[in-house]
Amino acid sequence: MNITLSSILMILNKTIDIILVWVLIYYAIKNFQENVKLSMLIKGVVFVVILKLIASVFGFVTIGVILEYLIMFGPIAIIVIFQPEIRMLLEELGRKKLIGRHKILSVDEREKVVYEIVSSLEALRKERYGALIVIERNVSLSDYIDKAKPVYGDVTSNLLQCIFFKNNPLHDGGVIIQGDKIACAGAVFPTSSNIKNSQKRLGTRHRAALGIAEETDALVLVASEETGRLSMAIKGELYYNVSIDDIRVTLIDELRPQKEEAVEVKNWEEEEIYEENK
């Protein structure tokens, strides 16, 4: 069997084509699972298709004609009815990075960033300066960065305190951190309407923190201007009045790369097996 360059290119082309299809299916299923309305839509489409097959096999003419019209005009109806959900899905896919975090920090870099952030929060809390710090992770925040004031400076406690100083025109907005850099200041985020009864008195910063934590996987820290208390929003949940030690531990844990977490789990399992065999 002679293998020519054209046959190799054809095989490569088909392989890439199949891989792209599977990647598309993977991200579609992943996002459908996180969206209740879209999940119900997919179940409805599957139900209609199965019903149409049954009608064709058993010769149900009336229901078959109705289903044919439904399949013919259904896509247009779906686009009109579920337009907000489809738009949100496309926006979410556009914000996600396939490669991962903006920058993978080393252990020393991560500890320095955590130290500077915690130090700034401690100082801001004592001075009763309001602050909103958003740390980007796997989901890109470029849409919000583009609309804010660029900074791109090293993450330091002094710089964060200067940004959130009351007389600074940028203190009302939020700061976005990418890796070990402050990407921008004065960022505006969507406010959440999903506030529990015990949190209804929370201000705009806390609602914005919860809003961006609901839309992305960002880690959000808030210092209250009125009470001096610290809060943290992560994975769509807002934790009010948390201690500085809790924030430090959470930052260290959540900012670890997945590979490093996997290595630690493996080492822990090996140690456990070793202890059992002793």
Angstrom CA distances, 167 to 121, 171, 188, 228, 229, stand at 18, 8, 18, 18, 21
> In the chain, which residues have pLDDT < 50?
97-102, 197, 260-266, 268, 274
> Quick one: three-class SS letters along the chain?
CCCCHHHHHHHHHHHHHHHHHHHHHHHHHHHHHHCHHHHHHHHHHHHHHHHHHHHHHHCCHHHHHHHHHHHHHHHHHHHHHCHHHHHHHHHHHHHECCCCCCCCCCHHHHHHHHHHHHHHHHHHHHHCCCEEEEECCCECCHHHHHCCEEEEEECCHHHHHHHCCCCCCCCCCEEEEECCEEEEEEECCCCCCCCCHHHCCCCHHHHHHHHHHHHCCCEEEEECCCCCCEEEEECCEEEEEECHHHHHHHHHHHCCCHHHHHHHHHHHHHHHHHHHHC
φ, ψ of residue 4 in degrees (nearest 5): -100, 170
Residue type, position 150, single letter: P
Per-residue confidence (pLDDT) for residue 84, from 0 to 100: 66
Per-residue confidence (pLDDT) for residue 266, from 0 to 100: 46
pTM of the model: 0.61
Per-residue confidence (pLDDT) for residue 222, from 0 to 100: 95
Give how far the C-alpha of residue 246 lies from the chain's centroid of Cα atoms, to the nearest Å.
22
Cα separation, 214 vs 209, in Å, equals 9
Per-residue confidence (pLDDT) for residue 278, from 0 to 100: 52
pLDDT digits (tens, 9 = 90+) for 133-183: 999 988 888 889 988 999 989 999 999 999 998 888 888 889 999 989 999
Q: Bridge-partner residues for 131, per DSSP?
A: 223
